[in-house]
A and B are shown apart, each in its own frame.
Chain A
Amino acid sequence: MIEHLDPRITEALARLPDYLGSHVLVSITALALGLAVSLPLAVIAARRPTLRTLLLAVTSIVQTIPGLALLALFYPLLLGVAALSEQTLGFGFSALGFLPSVLALALYSMLPTLRNTITGLNAIDPDVRQAALGVGMTPRQSLLIVDLPLALPVIMAGIRTSAVWVIGTATLSTPIGQTSLGNYIFTGLQTQNWVFVLFGCFAAAILALVVDQLLALIERGVGARSHIRVAAGLTGLVLLAAAALAPALARPQGDAVVGAKTFAEQYILSALISDRLRNAGFTPARRDGLGSAVIFQALAADEIDAYVDYSGTLWANQMGRSDVLPRDEVLRDLGVWLRDRHGIAMLGSLGFENAYGLAMSRERAEALGVKSIADLAAHAPSLAIAGDYEFFGRPEWTALRDAYGLQFRDQRQMQAEFMYPAITAGDVDVITAFTSDGRIEQHDLVVLEDPRDAIPPYDAILLVSPRKAKDAAFIAALRPLVGAINVETMREANLRAAGGGNESSPDTVAQWLWSRIGTQKPPAK
């Protein structure tokens, strides 16, 4: 039966044990931690109006922080704490993935439990509370024998809300390195694989529903004092956790971790690197969809072992340089800085550049007589530009703007996938584009020249973590990739990945890319 399915579904199913297991693990841990903190807090606060108001206000504010931002904030925070603990206590811990996700999600889960527990405890009939005192209960006995059992239905309703929130929000832990069902969604969005996106959404929704119903069963069982129902609900939860966690625990831990940022080219390259490592006898694990700042710090901290970055990105964001040097000098300075400062090995350029550029439709550019960014500057005040989420905050944009005196009529940010339809439809006149993006040719766009060299070079460079920098077998496995991919090949690979068809999964494209590397002529040296 499986053979008749769409290959994208087959691939999604193949990843399910890993993604679901990680998702369940991070959700359950976060929920347990959230409950362990919020239940006692609620009991303490229920009879203390000032504390109650304060707690509810703080947790409500936490709730207004977007889930993605809250998760992202925990990474640098923990990185600082880990560094501090390394210095003062002599041991560090991984600030990537599991820990920040658990902490952020636990914090996120607290409001419903806290609010419902407080409400439930305060709603108990005063006559009953008086009776508890009058028959000679201590405050503790009154809480355990009378207050909590009576408030339990309301408390359980809160716990159910918390569980559903945590399971839903856990999909956002992918960009900080925690594998989750969000991997489907993030990968799918970047590679226009809508089957993946929908699969991730449904999987998360079904998981949330199942957990909610199991909790509801426990809740009704407690209400009706039916031990059978409570036991059935608990057994269901334990079975779910066991089924989800078994493959995650049984799977051998990877001896190398390959990272990827959040766009298709990165997924392809990470699949390619993983294939090469597997071919050399390693068992690589993948961490796809990491944020741009997160991934470099993760490499420096040995939490991932290899990934591809771009020279201009590191030049500006990590080295803090704003000057523009020739390509070779940038690569040389960067290699020295990476080695001396972080112990990272830069194996070299893959052979293509993925620079930021400004692109216009060929037709429009010719009509306006615009060939370079210098030409564009004169027309800019009547034109609209769209950029990805990062671009307008990057030093390159500042450099570009100042070098040419660019001033656009309108400046918008959007998901890269939507910039191409936008420029085709004429909604915007100029977009930021990556020079290795296959869609430039597909949509008949031209990349404008940069006569003043305001944009630094963006060679794709292969980086290896400090601990693997000394591993000769590891380096040897990846060495064949250096200088092996020219920009035309990469554009075609990216176009295939964006195709949305059966052959568009990063793994399939990576295999195609490797088959091409053998046949294409080696880059001129």
Chain B
Amino acid sequence: MKGLQPAIAFDRVTRRFGESGTAAVDAVTLAVPERQFLAVVGPSGSGKTTLLRMVNRLTPPDEGTVRVDGEDVMALDPIGLRRRIGYVFQGVGLFPHMTVAENIAITPRLMGARRDAISPRVDELLDLVRLDRHTYRGRYPRELSGGQRQRVGIARALAAQPRIVLMDEPFGALDPLTREALATDYRALHDDLGLTTIMITHDMQDALLLTDRVVVMRSGKLIADGAPQALMGNDQPDYVRALMETPRRNAERLNRLIAGGDPA
């Protein structure tokens, strides 16, 4: 990694909330190289979302520096910063009064793109997230299933051709088949478009099978950081080992099942 400028870099970043000043993110240092797909895992309230929101300045850091492409985000115009970073929200957050096409086109429109340039771009993005352009362009979010909404959310995040995408539990509320399909599709997009992605997830299996690198957060601190294989090792802290226990045991049971044996 030396000599290469990271796409996103946290340098001793702290963010406190409330009267008590509890640190949601506590002196985190983390560098994400270009084209990396990073998963952030950890229990609820461990500071994952706060960490993500500091990248595009939805939440400013109290201490330390967050750099995007080498520039301190606090020195950048937050509006421009947000427009060049794709963000997939936990609750999807599609605009209910706009059609699928209008939702996808929002960031290019804000950036003043011409109408005749936006329309083909929307079709291209619908193809990219594998939604039929003719069927879905004119639909409203309330007419879509959860998985379709999430696909539109991803298309919207990609509309302005960002090089960085932030995803907050993008596959959280989906059924397993949809989840699998969408996750695989996104991984392909990440590679094809040369994106740098940070994805928050509760699901260890997603993190381990989909990404290049996994960091584990607990009480605002990073307690583990490594490639999926490395995290499965026995040299990890107790909490991480406990975290890995479930997917490991499931895998072993599935293997026995596939081999024709008794899973227990």
Contact = CB atoms under 8 A, between A and B. Distances in A.
Interface in B79-99: 79-83, 87, 89-97
A137 B95 CA distance: 13
Given A136-B79, A136-B83, A149-B97, A131 B89 contact: yes
Interface string B60-92: 000000000000000000011111000101111
B96 A128 contact: yes
Interface residues of B, number: 22
B89 A130 contact: yes
Interface residues of chain A: helix, strand, loop or mixed (majority) = helix
Given A128-B96, A149-B97, A135 B87 contact: yes
A131 B79 contact: no
A146 B94 CA distance: 11
B218 interface: no
B107 interface: yes
Interface residues of A, number: 18
Contact of A141 (B90, B97, B110): B110
A133 B79 CA distance: 8
Residue of A133, A136, A149 with highest tally of chain B CB at under 10 A: A136
A160 B6 CA distance: 56
Contacts of A141: 110
Contact of A127 (B58, B80, B92, B106): B92
Interface in A110-141: 125, 127-128, 130-138, 141
Nearest to B84: A136
Nearest to B57: A133
A525 B110 CA distance: 88
B56 interface: yes
Contacts of A149: 97
Nearest to A149: B97
Given A127-B92, A149-B97, A134 B87 contact: yes
B156 interface: yes
B250 to A, nearest CB: 32
A43 interface: no
Contacts of A150: 95-97
A141 B111 CA distance: 12
A225 B94 CA distance: 17
A136 B93 contact: no
Given A127-B89, A127-B92, A130-B89, A135 B97 contact: no
Contacts of A134: 56, 58, 82, 87, 89, 93
B96 A137 contact: no
A75 to B, nearest CB: 45
Contact of B93 (A131, A138, A225): A131
B91 A135 contact: no
B95 A136 contact: no
B108 to A, nearest CB: 10
A135 B107 contact: yes
Contacts of A125: 91, 93, 96
A130 B92 CA distance: 10
Contacts of B93: 125, 127-128, 130-131, 134
Interface in B224-262: none
A136 B97 contact: no
Contacts, number: 58
Contact of A137 (B80, B87, B97, B110): B110
Contacts of A225: 97
A125 B92 CA distance: 11
B119 to A, nearest CB: 18
A135 B83 CA distance: 6
Nearest to A139: B79
A403 to B, nearest CB: 73
A137 B58 CA distance: 12
Contacts of A128: 93-96
A65 B228 CA distance: 71
Contacts of B107: 135-136
A135 B156 contact: yes
A146 B56 CA distance: 20
A131 B83 contact: no
Nearest to A124: B96
A361 B184 CA distance: 100
B132 to A, nearest CB: 22
A133 B97 contact: no
Nearest to A131: B93
A149 B87 CA distance: 23
Contacts of A146: 95
A136 B82 CA distance: 5
Contacts of B82: 133-136
Nearest to A128: B93
Nearest to B140: A225
A140 to B, nearest CB: 11
A361 B127 CA distance: 95
B55 to A, nearest CB: 11
A131 B95 contact: yes
A390 B3 CA distance: 94
Nearest to A225: B97
B89 A133 contact: no
Contacts of B95: 128, 131-132, 145-146, 150
Contacts of A133: 58, 82
B83 to A, nearest CB: 3
A125 to B, nearest CB: 8
Interface string A346-387: 000000000000000000000000000000000000000000
Nearest to B110: A136
A336 B97 CA distance: 72
Nearest to B94: A131
17 contacts: A125-B96, A127-B92, A127-B93, A130-B91, A131-B87, A131-B93, A134-B56, A134-B58, A134-B87, A136-B80, A136-B81, A136-B83, A136-B107, A136-B111, A137-B79, A137-B110, A149-B97
Nearest 6 pairs between A and B by C-beta? A131-B93, A136-B83, A127-B91, A136-B82, A134-B87, A127-B93
Interface of B: 56, 58, 79-83, 87, 89-97, 106-107, 110-111, 156
Given A131-B94, A136-B107, 15 more contacts: A130-B89, A130-B91, A131-B87, A131-B92, A133-B82, A135-B82, A135-B83, A135-B107, A135-B110, A135-B156, A136-B111, A137-B79, A137-B110, A145-B95, A146-B95
